[in-house]
């Protein structure tokens, strides 16, 4: 299949991130490839979630934050002056650590994105499509108007994924999407991720190394330096990172000899 689309969906270039005067991310340069799952791993506090949120400008919602360097999305600067963060977020979706469905019905949850973005098509069709993509349709098709809270944790998270899928994003950012779920629900989510990545680029933060090894095509390892800023240690093919990493810090972390 030939494609003129560049293989890199995102290109972070010397990204620095500040909370006020505190530098949380330092000089991160990284390519996130199209239609691949890229995992971000690293010890807690290294800034993985902060970094993730730079990709859909969710950090803009926190006062006094600042970005230096840039992130290119399909070649365009994500933080450029003409870019509308609200519009970006309908193209770059997000799934959070704890499932957070709205206190509404299952249908209204999935249709929410359609409503606020003024989707002109058939909402019922779009909702069904998203629920099917999220492997949830068969479990909820008879109770679409029941509250989302009636679902189990794993189902709620898949509902959140369906909700994110409804606006047909090109990218989905996932912040430890399975960490609040039991092992079976976790595997279902991982299965789903492998399925979705055929149409969508996925960037996933996880603190579970086995999960990163199972689910991702590429892995980036971040660590926090002496100055408490997070930086990129190594990035590469997942198989290579987990069998023969280049950097000894990476080796120490993934073999669990990191203290």
Partner 1 sequence: MPRLDFDRSLRILQDELLALGSMVEKAVINSVDSLKRRDLELSRQVVQQDDVIDKMRYEIEEKCIDLIAKQQPFAQDLRTVIATLHIAVELERMGDYAEGIAKISLLMGDQAPLKPLIDIPRMADKATKMLRRALDALVNRDVVAAKVVCNDDDEVDALYDQVYRELLTFMIQDPKTIQRATYLLWVAHDLERTADRATNIAERVIYLVTGKLVELNVGKG
Partner 2 sequence: MGKGAYVVFILTFIAGIFGLVTLLAQVLIQGWDWLTPGLIFNYPSRFPSQAGLRSALMGTVWVMSITAGFSIPIGIGAAIYLEEYAPKNWLTRLIEVNISNLAGVPSIIYGLLGLALFVQWLALGRSVLAGALTMTLLILPIIILASREAIRAVPRTYREAAYALGATHWQVDKSVTLPAAFPGILTGIILGMSRAIGESAPMIAISALVYLTFVPSSPMDRFTVLPIQIFNWISRPQEDFRSLAAAGIVVLLVILLSMNGIAIYLRNRFQKRSHD
CA distance 91 to 103: 24
Edge-to-edge, what's the strand order for the sheet holding 201-205?
A: 76-77, 65-73, 8-19, 22-33, 230-237, 218-224, 37-41, 201-205, 171-175, 92-95
Binding of residue 255 to partner 1 (CB under 8 A)? yes
Burial of 50 (0-12, 13-18, 19+ CB in 10 A): buried
Is 242 within 8 Å of 213 (Cβ atoms)? yes
Tokens 């189990």 correspond to 152
> What are the tokens at 102?
């709205």
List binders of partner 2 among 100-129 (CB under 8 A).
100-103, 112-113, 115-117
Residue 47 contacts which entry, partner 1, partner 2, none (Cβ below 5-8 A, type-dependent): none
- Binding segment for partner 1 (CB under 8 A), chosen from 6-14, 39-47, 173-181, 237-245, is 237-245
Site for partner 2 in 132-191 (CB under 8 A): 147, 149-150, 160, 163-164, 167
User: Which listed range, 16-24, 42-50, 199-207, 246-254, lies at the site for partner 1 (CB under 8 A)?
Assistant: 246-254
Compare residues 167 and 232 and give the one whose CB is closer to partner 2.
Answer: 167
Give residue 217's Cα distance to chain centre. Answer: 14
Residue 62 engages partner 2 in binding (rule: CB under 8 A): no
Q: Which of 19, 96, 119, 137 binds partner 2 (CB under 8 A)?
A: 96
User: Which residues here bind partner 2, judged by CB under 8 A?
Assistant: 56, 58, 61, 63, 86-91, 93-94, 96, 98, 100-103, 112-113, 115-117, 147, 149-150, 160, 163-164, 167
């Amino acid at each position: 299949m030939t494609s003129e689309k560049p293989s890199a969906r995102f290109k972070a270039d010397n990204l620095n991130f500040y909370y006020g005067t505190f530098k949380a991310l330092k000089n991160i340069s990284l390519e996130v490839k199209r239609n691949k799952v890229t995992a971000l791993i690293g010890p807690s506090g290294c800034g993985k979630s902060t970094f993730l949120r730079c990709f859909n400008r969710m950090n803009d919602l926190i006062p006094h934050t600042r970005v230096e360097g840039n992130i290119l999305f399909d070649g365009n600067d994500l933080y450029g002056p003409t870019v509308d963060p609200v519009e970006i977020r309908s193209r770059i979706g997000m799934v959070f650590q704890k499932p957070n469905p709205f206190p509404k019905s299952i249908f209204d949850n999935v249709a929410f994105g359609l409503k606020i973005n003024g989707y002109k098509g058939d909402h019922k069709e779009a909702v069904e499509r998203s629920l099917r993509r999220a492997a949830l349709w068969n479990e909820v098709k008879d109770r679409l108007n029941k509250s989302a809270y009636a679902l189990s944790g794993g189902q709620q998270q898949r509902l959140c994924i369906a909700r994110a899928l409804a606006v047909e994003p090109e990218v989905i950012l996932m912040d430890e999407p399975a960490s609040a779920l039991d092992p079976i629900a976790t595997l279902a989510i991982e299965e789903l991720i492998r399925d979705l990545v055929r149409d969508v680029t996925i960037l996933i933060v996880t603190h579970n190394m086995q999960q990163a090894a199972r689910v991702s095509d590429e892995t980036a390892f971040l660590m926090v330096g002496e100055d408490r800023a997070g930086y990129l240690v190594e990035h590469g093919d997942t198989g290579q990172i987990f069998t023969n990493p280049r950097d000894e810090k990476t080796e120490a972390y993934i073999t669990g000899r990191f203290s």
